[in-house]
Amino acid sequence: MKPIKKPEDPLAIWNGQDRIADNILTSVTAIIRSGGCSWNRCKMCQYRHERFVGIETGELIRLMSAQLNKLEEEINKVKPQVIKLYTSGSFLDPAEVPSEIQDKVINLVKGKTLIVESRCDYINKDKLKMMVETLKEENDSADLFIAIGLETTSDIIREKCIDKGLLYSDFQKMTEVIHACGAKVKTYLLHKPPYLTESEAHSDMMKSIKEIIPISDLISMNPCTVQRNTHVESMWKQQAYRPPYLWSVASILAGSNAHVTCDPIGGGQTRGPHNCGRCDSVILDAIRDYNLSADRDLMQSVMEMDCSCKKEWEYIMSEEKSWTMPLTR
Amino acid sequence: MKGVEILSRDGTARYGRFGVGEDTFIFPAAYQTTDLFPAISKRDLTNIPVLEDKEFVDRYLVRDGEEPVPLHIRADNEVPSGTTVITPNWHTLLTRPRDLCSFLDTLKSTIPPDTCWYLPGAALPENAAILVHAGFDLFDFIAVDLATAQGIFCLPDGRYPEKVMEEGLCSCNGCSSGNLLEHNRIALQQELAHISRRIRDGTFREYLDGRCRTKPEFVSIMRHLERSERMEQYTPVSRSGPFYATSGDSIHRVEVKRFADRLVDRYIPPVTDVAVLIPCSAKKPYSLSQSHRKFSQAIGRRAHELIMTSPLGLVPRDVELAYPAAAYDVPVTGYWDHEERYQITETLVRYFTRHPYRRVIAHLDGDARLIAQDAADKAGFELECTCQSERPTDHESLSALSQALSGERKIKSHLVRGMISFQFGYDLKAPNLEVKGSYPEQVVKRGRNLLFSTDPSHGLMRPTFDGWSLLETGYRVYIDDFVPQGDILAPGVMDADPVIRPGDEVLVIGDKAMTTGRAVMGADEMIRSSRGVAVRVRKVKKLEG
């Protein structure tokens, strides 16, 4: 493994705006390197490679604290209402993020809304209650969002296509626990994991969104991207995988009865969700606007657009089958 | 009709029919397969990519008991005769010719030949020929309809933008009414009809040679297949039509390689230690040509006549009737390219190493002589040259040739032993054989008994029962204890000599009868099939007791 450059800096840090509960809030997002995801098996995930390997806990705490110092500087500079802290795994897994670091984060963002990600396995009531209490000490409108990668409500798809090691029923129970502790749920869905036709993937998202609306406070849909050193990448190289069409992404957003946010990473590129290359940027811009405006009419108007590739997409949606796919690159 | 029946074959390409319910359909052809096989519309969420590993395949491969049965290279694929099978997602292999061919060879060696192979989502007018050649039978309209959705106008030579449709390149119903979908479907169906016709005529390989040139991967697929054991097993030993060697790839055809191999492995030359290399002639068999009459006259049977030619390399006079020596045609320019030279030199070196002569005379001009000289240097023998000018047939050259052979002893006629060794790999040492008839129609007799006759249109010797009794081993097909009524069908075949290829003369042996005839299938196919004619019967002889 290559030596890690600048281990004391976050992998990425930026500020922006986020729409939460119909309010547009300023946010700082940081991706910090951690001990790494303990599950480490999902077929599309590259983030699992971004970890410290073979270091003592003491050193891990030191390096993570150093990264948090950079986050603190950014918070002091931007004074955001929301902090999103991603560790490329589970924030609540003590093997990945030592408890000292977890506590340090809570104290750092006191009085602000915090979004962290975790697998269901590491969520426990006492810890959540303590975190919510600390956050709200000075400001009752500060919320704790636990973001969970449910990916789909279909256990069959999650098992075969992602290898997530999670059941929908476990997720459902966990949303009750989270809500009971006074925290909120952000759910990630994965649009078009491998082994699905364009239309199977589309139906999977429509159904999943519909099912989680009642139990999820925020929904974010990630169109699958071909990341390096993943199983999906090797499938893609063997022509066995094509990322979703942006038409599909737009159509899901336009057709869902909830505001689903979406950040199409690699949008418009062959490795990311893409159309023909001519209409991609218009649709990507519309999706970015929609993230903040929640204006469903905008997504609907995207679907009324025409492009020479739209017929191709319609054909793929109706004729691509599990035994003859993917039909396009 | 139930099941699958192969009616004609040309190499690995097949023409036949398959049954669905009460109905019978022919192949190769494209159909609306979701109508034909409703089960495939219910196979949602069953995707397994072609290159997926065994663990995943074992866990997620779904077989619903309906046709077409999905195959996977890493699954156990036990499929009975008569089944229609599908190779899911194999359209993604078209850009991986090596994998495509090796996977096909593997699957085809485990699955009975009398199965119908459905390749979904791949067939276009431009690739139909190579896909049929690879061994696929059944196709759909998915790829052409996708092309329609993309505004692509499909023809056998490739793809064009939709607007080209107006330029009169095709005048089908779709084109005259401006309906791209209809045109693209018709273009595919027409191409498959064309292919079907060529398979039944036994001229598909020549057709393919032209068709596959439009894309490099098609040629790659053809070249990979050409080198496969499967192609050797399924290529007929003879065809009734001409053999056109019109491209550089012709030199790699199974028939060419087989001819050279048989010269070295099977052929027994006449008893003599003098050989003359002479040029080929356009007319076949060579000995009916003007030039060869002159050569033969000058040689006066005092040497073994060996004809140097492309692409076969070397044709001894006594097997000039053997396929494809009497059937081939090549573009003649006088220029021999390097691949040809290399291949022919190789054949000459192998031949002369296996069959050494005391004297080898090259009565050749131009490039041919250079190739012979090269082969002589490599094989380590002296080459005498008798061609005095650029014309081997002129008086000076011919008398030089005759002069060079003065004092050499005449050799005996060798047609029977030569042809029999070449065709059956058997050394026939029967005395008192008489060869009669007007060449190339010949019969071989001993006394009143007819033993063999030539079949010049196929380049084969036909043995009678008496003829077979002289050939103690080889080319036998074994059947159960029944007296054949008509042709021998594949289910009746118990065993067959593995060297048998389609078109071979065979002796069928059972407890109750023996028959002579010509193999329709190769040994592999007649052993593993449950349907179709295995041997076209000529004569049946009931056995006593």
CATH number assigned to the domain comprising residue B186 = 3.20.20.105
Residue in the structure block whose two tokens are 């250079």: B370
| Residue B442 included in any domain | yes
| Residue B371 included in any domain | yes
* Best mutation target, A155, A239, A314, A328, to test chain B (most B CBs within 10 A): A239
β-bridge partners, A196: none
- Sheet of B138-139: strand order equals B29-30, B138-139, B116-118, B84-86, B69-70
SS3 content of chain B, % helix, strand, coil (to 5): 40, 20, 40
Task: Say yes or no: B446 and B388 in one domain.
Answer: no
What is the rounded CA–CA span in Å between residue B145 and residue B152? 9
| Residue B315 included in any domain | yes
**Segments making up each domain of chain A, as ranges:** 1-142
- At residue A156, does pLDDT exceed 80? yes
Hey, is A28 helix, strand or coil?
strand
Is any Cβ of chain B less than 8 angstroms from the Cβ of A324?
yes
pLDDT per residue as tens digits for the range B508-537: 999 999 999 999 999 999 999 999 999 999
Task: Say yes or no: B219 and B260 in one domain.
Answer: no
Kindly state the tokens that stand for B263. Answer: 């010269």
| Predicted ipTM of the assembly | 0.94
pLDDT per residue as tens digits for the range A75-90: 999 999 999 999 989 9
What is the rounded CA–CA span in Å between residue A84 and residue B161? 49
Q: What is the pLDDT of residue B545?
A: 61
Q: What is the pLDDT of residue A24?
A: 96
Q: B208 and B129 in contact (C-beta within 8 Å)?
A: yes
What is the rounded CA–CA span in Å between residue A241 and residue A162? 13
> Residue B371 belongs to a domain with what CATH number?
3.40.50.10630
Please report which residue ranges of A213-243 form alpha helices under DSSP H: 231-237
* Best mutation target, A275, A315, A324, A328, to test chain B (most B CBs within 10 A): A324
How many alpha carbons fall within 13 Å on the CB side of residue B240?
Answer: 6
Torsion of CA B479, B483, B486, B491, to 10 degrees: -30
Contacts of B504 (CB under 8 A, 6+ apart): B237, B460, B475, B518, B519
What is the rounded CA–CA span in Å between residue B261 and residue B252? 12
| Residue B412 included in any domain | no
What is the rounded CA–CA span in Å between residue B498 and residue B524? 7
Q: B306 and B315 in contact (C-beta within 8 Å)?
A: yes
Is any Cβ of chain A less than 8 angstroms from the Cβ of B439?
no
Task: Say yes or no: B129 and B85 in one domain.
Answer: yes
> Residue B473 belongs to a domain with what CATH number?
2.30.130.10
Kindly state the tokens that stand for B413. Answer: 């006629």
Q: Per the CB < 8 Å rule, is A314 touching B46?
A: no
CB B373: neighbour CB atoms within 10 A?
Answer: 15
Q: Per the CB < 8 Å rule, is A316 touching B52?
A: no
Question: For residue B152, which of B162, B167, B143, B144 has the smallest C-alpha distance?
Answer: B162
β-bridge partners, B384: B361
What is the rounded CA–CA span in Å between residue A246 and residue A252? 10
Task: Say yes or no: B58 and B170 in one domain.
Answer: yes
Question: For residue B18, which of B129, B139, B137 has the smallest C-alpha distance?
Answer: B137
Write out the residue range of the structural domain in which residue B23 sits.
4-234
What is the rounded CA–CA span in Å between residue A317 and residue A328? 12
* Best mutation target, B42, B47, B145, to test chain A (most A CBs within 10 A): B47
Question: For residue B125, which of B24, B215, B204 has the smallest C-alpha distance?
Answer: B215
- DSSP for B254-281, please give it: HHHHHHHHHHHHT----S-SEEEEEE--
β-bridge partners, B70: B86
The DSSP call for residue A51 is: B
Under-70 pLDDT residues of chain B: 545
Task: Say yes or no: B264 and B394 in one domain.
Answer: yes
Task: Say yes or no: B60 and B173 in one domain.
Answer: yes
Q: What is the pLDDT of residue A2?
A: 64
Q: What is the pLDDT of residue A299?
A: 97
* Best mutation target, A231, A320, A327, A328, to test chain B (most B CBs within 10 A): A327
Hey, is B320 helix, strand or coil?
coil
Q: Per the CB < 8 Å rule, is A323 touching B95?
A: no
What is the rounded CA–CA span in Å between residue B233 and residue A293? 68
What is the rounded CA–CA span in Å between residue B520 and residue B172? 37
For A43-68, what is the mean pLDDT?
93
CA distances from B316 to A83, A250, B279, B319, B454 (A): 89, 73, 12, 6, 17
Q: A273 and A225 in contact (C-beta within 8 Å)?
A: yes
Hey, is A68 helix, strand or coil?
helix
Task: Say yes or no: B467 and B508 in one domain.
Answer: yes
Q: What is the pLDDT of residue B414?
A: 84
Give long-range contacts, CB 8 A cutoff, 24+ apart: B351-356.
B351/B263, B351/B264, B351/B313, B351/B314, B352/B376, B352/B379, B352/B381, B353/B379, B354/B263, B354/B264, B355/B267, B355/B269, B356/B381
CB B65: neighbour CB atoms within 10 A?
Answer: 6
| Residue B411 included in any domain | no
Question: For residue A197, which of A310, A313, A316, A280 has the smallest C-alpha distance?
Answer: A316
CB B520: neighbour CB atoms within 10 A?
Answer: 25
Q: Per the CB < 8 Å rule, is A239 touching B92?
A: yes
% of chain B at pLDDT higher than 90 = 91
Q: B7 and B114 in contact (C-beta within 8 Å)?
A: no
Question: For residue A272, which of A234, A303, A242, A315 has the smallest C-alpha distance?
Answer: A242
Q: B31 and B86 in contact (C-beta within 8 Å)?
A: no
Is any Cβ of chain B less than 8 angstroms from the Cβ of A53?
no
Which of residues 185 through 204 in chain A touch B, CB cutoff 8 A? Answer: 194-197, 200
Kindly state the tokens that stand for B133. Answer: 């050649």
Is any Cβ of chain A less than 8 angstroms from the Cβ of B97?
no
What is the rounded CA–CA span in Å between residue B124 and residue B418? 47
The DSSP call for residue A154 is: -
Facing residue for B49 by CB, picked from A156, A238, A321 = A238
pLDDT per residue as tens digits for the range A273-287: 999 999 999 999 999
Domain end residue (candidates: B217, B234, B251): B234
Task: Say yes or no: B83 and B157 in one domain.
Answer: yes
Residue in the structure block whose two tokens are 């809304």: A113
pLDDT per residue as tens digits for the range B271-289: 999 999 999 999 999 999 9
CB B396: neighbour CB atoms within 10 A?
Answer: 12
Q: What is the pLDDT of residue A254?
A: 97
CA distances from A200 to A105, A207, A248 (A): 40, 11, 11
What are φ and ψ of residue B515, in 5° steps?
Answer: -140, 150
Kindly state the tokens that stand for A49. Answer: 């490679």
User: Do the strands A144-151 and A184-191 form a parallel or antiparallel pair, or are they unpaired?
Assistant: parallel
Q: Per the CB < 8 Å rule, is A321 touching B151?
A: no
Give the amino acid at B108.
Answer: K
Task: Say yes or no: B187 and B305 in one domain.
Answer: no
No. of helices (H) and no. of strands (E), chain B: 18, 27
Question: For residue A63, which of A25, A93, A104 has the smallest C-alpha distance?
Answer: A104
Is any Cβ of chain A less than 8 angstroms from the Cβ of B47?
yes
- DSSP for A269-313, please give it: STTSS--SSSSHHHHHHHHHHHHHH--HHHHHHHHH---TTHHHH
| Residue B483 included in any domain | yes
- Sheet of B304-309: strand order equals B313-316, B304-309, B274-279, B359-362, B383-385
For A181-188, what is the mean pLDDT?
98
Would you call B338 exposed, middle or buried from its count of C-beta atoms within 10 A (0-12, 13-18, 19+)? Answer: exposed
- At residue A321, does pLDDT exceed 70? yes
Is any Cβ of chain A less than 8 angstroms from the Cβ of B145?
yes
| Chain B residues within an 8 Å CB radius of A323 | 40, 43, 46-47, 70, 86, 88-89, 120
Task: Say yes or no: B435 and B349 in one domain.
Answer: no
Task: Say yes or no: B307 and B179 in one domain.
Answer: no
Total structural domains in chain B? 3
User: Do the strands B13-20 and B4-10 form a parallel or antiparallel pair, or are they unpaired?
Assistant: antiparallel
Q: What is the pLDDT of residue A1?
A: 55
| Chain A residues within an 8 Å CB radius of B69 | none
- At residue A252, does pLDDT exceed 90? yes
What is the rounded CA–CA span in Å between residue B276 and residue B383? 10
Q: What is the pLDDT of residue A3?
A: 75
Buried b vs exposed e over B221-248: b needs ≥16 C-beta within 10 Å?
bbebbbebebbbbbbbbbbeeebbbebe
